[in-house]
Structure 1
Amino acid sequence: MCWLVLVQGEIIAGHGRVMAAQMLGMTEVPALALSYLSAAERRAYVLADNKLALWTCNGFVPVT
């Protein structure tokens, strides 16, 4: 499983996983480079990832 997603060296998803890995002393983590995303696609990905995190922090994920 990929832990984070990078676009031109910038983390667009997985910030918490990176912080947890650093706390565990990890110096490398699996990553997926999505350099082919347009600016609109990148923004959509970030928004969707953030929304998913909000839903799961509340203990449920809507099925809509």
Structure 2
Amino acid sequence: MDANKAKAIRYYLGESQARFAKRIGVAPSTVCAIEKGQRDITDYIRAKLLRIESGLPDDFYTFYNRFRKSS
């Protein structure tokens, strides 16, 4: 799990940083810092993100591949 994939998950879900932060139990500033590459993803956050990712439909990976190419 890296910052780009975390951001892609948030975009895929159509959530603001504030809403996504609430979903994973961190401050919005933490989500912002992760997405900007200013903060590492802790094991706690990684576990939350992996749990969210595991519940996403297969078309997320198509979305993610396009997202990576455009970033």
TM-score norm. by structure 1 comes to 0.30
> Which has the bigger relative contact order, CA under 8 A and spacing at least 6?
2
- Structure with bigger helix share is 2
Q: Radius of gyration: which is bigger?
A: 1
TM-score norm. by structure 2 comes to 0.28
